[in-house]
Structure formats: structure tokens, C-alpha cells
Chains A and B, each alone.
Chain A
């Protein structure tokens, strides 16, 4: 990361100021695309806030909950099935065809900063058009096939139900413990090629698709890292205000 004033050059963590600035840059492009992201302040505090977006997502809500051994992969690549690593996935076809793509679910995503982990965390909630909240199993079932296999190895390690730290309401959360594991390669690769990275963009591009959140390709070209002198670079009015910023708590 270009913000060498922090230890982020050596670590894969994110300080709160960089979080806000990175979100600001992200939000600039979002505004350009008009794709629905917004910054929410908490208690009118400039220091505390999060990114939020609500979107309708077509999904598979079937009556078949995600069993521990049952794959929801809909991959038609039978060649894969020959591999022992997919021995659990014999049920390649587990889709409720009739319902697939028919049901629309309202997903609300929140990107929060975790002081304790020093990274962003993705919270979300999902409900049907009738207002019924999705169950954890339904959420699992709705995870993109690309991640299903890994998910099945430990669903509770991946998506769990948590109280939203700022709103105090029940949300789902994508578990953040190993964020560093998938961030590190991307950050190091970029650094090796002397390219700055917008942590939020990289992170969200990885975690978003897991839970139905799409980050359009144009972000990759349009959103850069916060400037090195990351003070009130005012990436966006939303992310400004580092007046009293003395780093994280």
C-alpha cells in the first residue's frame, strides 16, 4: 500500500483512516456508476461510519437446506467429479430449477471497519420480497458455486449470524479471521510491481461474490489507493475529516 506511514507496508492490515479514505475513493466511482453504495455515519460521527448498499439478487431459495455433505454445486463439469477431492460432490445437480432465478432476494450489505481485527468486515442481511428474513442455511445455499466447496468444509467458519456492531441488529457476517490470508498475496504482488492498492476494493472484490455482491470490473480501473500523504486528501466528502485522526483507538 502506498500509505507507508502506517505499518501497512509490512502488514496486511488496515488502519481506520485508510479505511475511510479507501472507502471514499470507492464511493466516488460508485457515485459515477450510480450503483447504490452510500456512506452512513454513526451518531453523526465522522470517524465512525460504514459503506452500505442494498440490492435485489436473484437466487435459489429451495426447500432443501444445505446439508453438511450435500453439495450445491451445479457444475456440469463431470470431469471434476472424477477427482477424489470432490467425492462429496456427487450431487452435482442440486438446483431447484423451477425456482432458480425466479425468486429475488433483497440483500443489504454493510462494510464496516473492525478495530479489533484492523480490517474491514462484511455484514449483510437478506430477506424475501415478502419481508421474510433468510435463514442461515438459505444464505449458505445462495453462495456462488465457486465457493461452495470450501464453504461446505466449514459453513460456520464462513458465514455466521452476528449482531451488527453499530446497529445492534441481527446480520450475517463473513468471517474475517483469515482476511489476511487472501489479502496478503494481492497486496504483495501489487507492491512488488510498485502498484498501489485500494484495500477496500481488493477486499470487496474477493469477498463480495461469495455472498452475491458484484463489484463491476470498472472499479478495478477507476479506483486507486489513497494518496501517500493520506491526510485530508478528501477523496470524497464522505471520507474526509481526519482532523482529529490519530489512527485507530
Chain B
């Protein structure tokens, strides 16, 4: 298992290109900050995809649901982001589903998911939190 996620750290929402430095912290921007990125038409459209996040179950809904994400970002990285955003407890596991009912591998790149499951120019991902095991 490689450290794919280490290079995907950093800013998420606006998806700046210098998302390599981990310390370029997200600043935990509250969702009220920048509007979601409808303007995905701008920056390197090809390198980024639109993702729509939908909560399921008792999982809190993110105020910002639509994000522009680099294709190379992994599911794991995305999961970390959402978990952080939602301030999940350490005992809570976040699950992400594509096509409603399939959990992609954590190492899967969202760009690949978009190619297979994207429609109307976006990739819809469902997410839920759970205590999961035990």
C-alpha cells in the first residue's frame, strides 16, 4: 500500500494546484467560506472533476456539497477530508459509496470513478459514518 494520500493533502475545496504541501492546510474553513466551485470551468478542467457529496443515514450533511477535485485524489484522501470537515469522532468510520451501493477502494482515484460513474458532468458520491465494526 503506497502513500498515495500524502500527495493529495492540503486544500480541497478550490483545489489549488499546489496541493502537494501537507502544511498548506485547509485552514479548516467553515463551510460558509467560499462557495462551492461551480466555476470548475476555469482552472484546468481536465485535471479536475466535479463531485457532489450526499449524506446518507444519520450522517451530518455538509453545507458545501459540491466540490471540484483533482482527478488524482484518492478516496482515502477524500474520506479524510470529509471526516475532518464533519469532525467525526475517532471511533467513527466514514464510508464512501459510488453508484449508491459500491464502496470503492481507498486507493482509487476519483478521476477513475468519474469516468465510470460520472453523469451530467459530475460524480455523485454518497457518504455515511458508522461505528462500523464490533
Contacts and interface: CB of A to CB of B under 8 A. Distances in A.
Interface of A: 58-60, 74-80, 82-83, 85-86, 88, 95, 101, 144-147, 149-154, 157-158, 174-175, 177-178, 181-182, 184-190, 193, 195, 197-198, 201-202, 205-206, 209, 212, 214-215, 217, 219-221
B22 interface: yes
B61 interface: no
A85 B57 contact: no
B116 A221 contact: yes
B119 interface: no
Contacts of A187: 101
Contacts of B59: 185
Given A76-B22, A186-B97, A186-B128, 19 more contacts: A75-B6, A77-B10, A78-B25, A79-B24, A80-B84, A83-B84, A83-B87, A85-B84, A85-B87, A144-B107, A157-B134, A181-B131, A185-B56, A186-B101, A188-B57, A201-B102, A209-B103, A219-B102, A220-B104
B91 A205 contact: no
24 contacts: A75-B5, A75-B6, A79-B10, A79-B22, A85-B84, A95-B3, A144-B1, A145-B5, A146-B106, A147-B106, A149-B90, A150-B91, A154-B133, A157-B133, A157-B134, A178-B130, A182-B95, A182-B128, A185-B126, A186-B126, A187-B101, A188-B56, A205-B102, A220-B102
Interface in B86-101: 87-93, 95, 97-101
Contact of B25 (A82, A145, A214): A82
Contacts of B34: none
Chain B: interface size category: 35 or more
B16 interface: no
Contacts of B134: 154, 157-158, 175, 177-178
A86 B56 CA distance: 24
Given A77-B22, A190-B100, A150 B56 contact: no
A77 B9 contact: yes
A217 B108 contact: yes
A157 B112 CA distance: 33
Contacts of A85: 84, 87-90
Interface of B: 1-3, 5-10, 22-26, 28, 56-57, 59, 75-77, 79-80, 84, 87-93, 95, 97-108, 112-113, 116-117, 126, 128, 130-134
Contacts of A174: 133
Contacts of B28: 79, 82-83
B1 A145 contact: yes
A224 B28 CA distance: 40
A76 B7 contact: yes
B1 A76 contact: no
Contacts of A178: 130-134
B132 A182 contact: yes
B90 A189 contact: no
A85 B102 CA distance: 28
Given A147-B93, A185-B57, A220-B102, A78 B23 contact: yes
A99 B100 CA distance: 38
Contacts of A185: 56-57, 59, 95, 97, 126, 128, 130
- Which of A146, A147, A178, A206: most chain B CB closer than 10 A? A146
B21 to A, nearest CB: 9
